[in-house]
């Protein structure tokens, strides 16, 4: 404005040359101070104080060269004082206001001495009072702003810590946790959810339909408000069944809890088992005494000379059924009396070879009828060998029985015991060339007292799974759509070790 003679025309009216020089100098000094401030060299309060004092000095010179305080340029010092109150804490803000007031008074005194311009001490005094009041108000507001900033930073820090804490808690939950957005994209999963569903952490950001179709279908039914929307399902063959629970979040997101139903099922079975054990213990004495008398009487009748072949068959039925009832009582009592595990570490492949030979000899089965395939021969496991043997006896016995009974006389029953690795876990599969398990029998396959075999007690698979769970193993039936199913024993990471 001064260079092009534009309003306001009073700028530099008293000393144009000095006004122009001080303006150029101020631009240079301000640029240097801006560079120093951006580099944050030295203490901020000291730098700000120096800059504000320079601003006061420059403005006073501009006032002197532009006609004095009556021009109103002195009000620019209010901006400097406000900046001092906002930027400089403590007494330094008052010091800046005092410097500005002193500078204005000196300008008034200088004007009186030189006799140029109108002298108004009241105007200078009013400006000084305004400076101090403004500095005080600016300092109060700045203090409140700093306090608000500290509270905001503290709240942000607390929120960050709380978020991290929640994340750690969720990661360590045995309960599976999953968040799915309104577009059915998986937003977040914890480790338990990945293990239960048999997926990796790469599921985050992927479509739920592509990763877990069954859960996607249940989520759709739940959003439609169906009462029976959620139910148990098996994410992968050989995995435990999972029961989802869904909660609606903001913005259409859904929080899904995944419950491992195997623990609930095991608790229910334990309660059922305890009841059976108490019942068996209470009636064992009353049942065994008359049962022993019946069996003994049948043996005496069988030794009689007058008995014919027809009666001997009837006596044989009595003895076999008596033995069956006695076996049921023994099995139930065995289930109710948990034995202390005697775990040991051994090479699983060698143990399986020994087991197959022993099983064939005890059951009078040709060794060629049972094949053994060990893909990972150098893998050790740590379980109770006797209980593992009972599990394998039950599985191989069932495989041989159903293979033998379902095949024509010209065919040879075949049983395959296969050891391998799947999902970094050691597995033992027991396969046969029998008819497999029917779809109607699958839900009750491991239930106590359920058997499709004529004369079977129905406790073999139940007992085998109980012993497997006691050793930290998983016993499942793997149903295949394109072929017959098979039984699988899975060793988790705590029970296996590779050498």
Residue that is last in its domain, among 302, 336, 370: 336
Query: At residue 431, what are phi and psi to the nearest 5 degrees?
Result: -115, 155
Residues 377 and 450 in one domain: yes
Do 328 and 442 sit in the same domain of this protein? no
**More confident position, 131 or 410:** 131
Number of domains in the chain: 4
What the block records as the tokens of 375 is: 């893909």
Rg of the chain in Å (alpha carbons)? 45
Of 242, 260, 278, the residue that ends a domain is 260
Burial of 288 (0-12, 13-18, 19+ CB in 10 A): middle
Q: Which of 106-115, 130-139, 251-260 has the lowest mean pLDDT?
A: 106-115
Residue 23 belongs to some domain of the structure: yes
470 neighbors 343 (Cβ within 8 angstroms): no
268 and 250 in a common domain? no
Query: Order of strands, edge to edge, in the sheet holding 343-347?
Result: 343-347, 379-384, 496-498
In a domain, 488, yes or no: yes
Say what percent of the chain tops pLDDT 90.
6
Residues 282 and 379 in one domain: no
Cross-strand pairs, 498: 379
pLDDT at position 395 = 92
Domain with residue 284: its CATH number is 1.10.287
Q: Does residue 410 carry a pLDDT above 50?
A: no
CATH of the domain at 444: 3.30.565.10
Q: Tell me: the pLDDT tens digits for 251-307?
A: 888 989 888 876 666 676 667 667 766 776 776 767 777 888 888 888 888 777 777
Name the more confident of 106 and 337. Answer: 106
Residue 26 located in a structural domain: yes
The answer on 387 and 485 residing in a single domain is yes
Q: Which of 119, 151, 183 is the last residue of a domain?
A: 151
Model confidence at 205: pLDDT above 80: yes
Q: Are residues 28 and 130 in the same domain?
A: yes
- Confidence (pLDDT) at 354: 92
| Domain annotation covers residue 6 | no
Q: Is residue 355 pLDDT above 90, yes or no?
A: yes
309 shares its domain with 237: no
| pLDDT score recorded for residue 428 | 93
Over range 187-210, report the average pLDDT: 81
Range of the domain at 61: 16-151
pLDDT of 432: 86
- Residue 161 included in any domain: no
Q: Do 387 and 254 reside in the same domain of the chain?
A: no
Spell 76-96 as b/e; 16+ CB within 10 A means b: ebbebbbbbbbbbeeebbbbb
Three-state SS letters, 400-465: HHHHHHHCCCCCCCCEEEEEEEECCEEEEEEEECCCCCCCCCHHHCCCCCCCCCCCCCCCHHHHHH
Residue 22: inside a domain, yes or no?
yes
Q: Is the pLDDT of residue 13 over 50?
A: yes
The pLDDT value given to residue 276: 66
User: What number is the average pLDDT over the span 442-446?
Assistant: 77
User: Is the domain of 350 the same as that of 307?
Assistant: no
> Rounded mean pLDDT of the chain?
78
Q: Is the pLDDT of residue 444 over 80?
A: no
- Same domain as 475, residue 422: yes
Same domain, 228 and 253: yes
Model confidence over 84-93: pLDDT tens digits? 777 776 677 7
Same domain, 361 and 480: yes
């Amino acid at each position: 404005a001064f260079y092009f003679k534009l309003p306001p025309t009073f700028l530099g009216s008293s000393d144009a040359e000095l006004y122009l020089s001080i303006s150029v100098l101020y631009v240079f000094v301000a640029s240097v101070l801006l560079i120093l401030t951006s580099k944050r060299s030295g203490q901020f309060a000291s730098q700000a104080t120096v800059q504000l004092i320079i601003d006061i000095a420059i403005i006073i010179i501009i006032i002197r060269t532009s006609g004095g305080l009556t021009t109103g340029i002195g009000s620019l010092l209010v901006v400097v004082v406000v900046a001092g109150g906002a930027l400089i804490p403590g007494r330094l803000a008052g010091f800046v206001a005092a410097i500005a007031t002193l500078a204005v008074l000196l300008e008034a005194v200088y004007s009186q001495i030189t006799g140029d311009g109108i002298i108004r001490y009241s105007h200078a005094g009013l400006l000084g009072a305004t400076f101090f009041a403004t500095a005080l108000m600016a300092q109060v507001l700045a203090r409140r702003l700093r306090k608000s900033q500290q509270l905001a930073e503290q709240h942000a820090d607390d929120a960050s810590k709380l978020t991290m804490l929640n994340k750690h808690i969720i990661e360590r939950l045995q309960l599976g946790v999953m968040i799915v957005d309104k577009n059915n994209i998986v937003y977040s999963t914890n480790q338990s959810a990945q293990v239960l569903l048999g997926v990796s952490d790469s599921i985050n950001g992927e479509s739920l339909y592509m990763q877990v179709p069954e859960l996607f279908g249940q989520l759709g039914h739940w959003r439609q408000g169906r009462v029976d929307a959620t139910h148990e399902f098996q994410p992968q063959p050989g995995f435990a069944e999972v029961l989802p629970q869904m909660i609606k979040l903001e913005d259409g997101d859904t929080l899904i809890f995944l419950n491992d139903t195997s623990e609930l099922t095991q608790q229910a079975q334990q309660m059922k088992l305890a009841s059976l054990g108490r019942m068996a213990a209470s009636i064992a004495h009353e049942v065994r005494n008359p049962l022993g008398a019946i069996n003994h009487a049948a043996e005496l009748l069988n030794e009689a000379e007058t008995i014919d072949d027809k009666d001997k068959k009837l006596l044989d039925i009595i003895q076999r059924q008596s033995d069956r009832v006695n076996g049921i009582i023994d099995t139930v009592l065995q289930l109710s009396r948990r034995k202390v595990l005697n775990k040991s570490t051994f090479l699983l492949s060698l143990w399986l070879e020994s087991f197959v030979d022993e099983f064939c000899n005890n059951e009078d089965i040709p060794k060629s009828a049972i094949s053994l395939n060990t893909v990972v021969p150098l893998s050790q496991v740590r379980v109770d060998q006797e209980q593992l043997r009972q599990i394998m006896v039950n599985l191989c016995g069932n495989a041989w029985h159903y293979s033998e009974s379902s095949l024509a006389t010209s065919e040879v029953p075949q049983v395959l015991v296969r050891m391998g690795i799947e999902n970094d876990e050691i597995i033992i599969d027991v396969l046969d060339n029998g008819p497999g398990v029917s779809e109607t029998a699958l839900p009750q396959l491991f239930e106590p007292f359920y058997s499709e075999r004529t004369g079977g007690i129905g406790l073999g698979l139940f007992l085998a799974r109980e012993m497997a769970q006691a050793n930290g193993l998983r016993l499942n039936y793997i149903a295949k759509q394109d072929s017959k199913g098979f039984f699988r024993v899975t060793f988790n990471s705590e029970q296996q070790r590779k050498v």
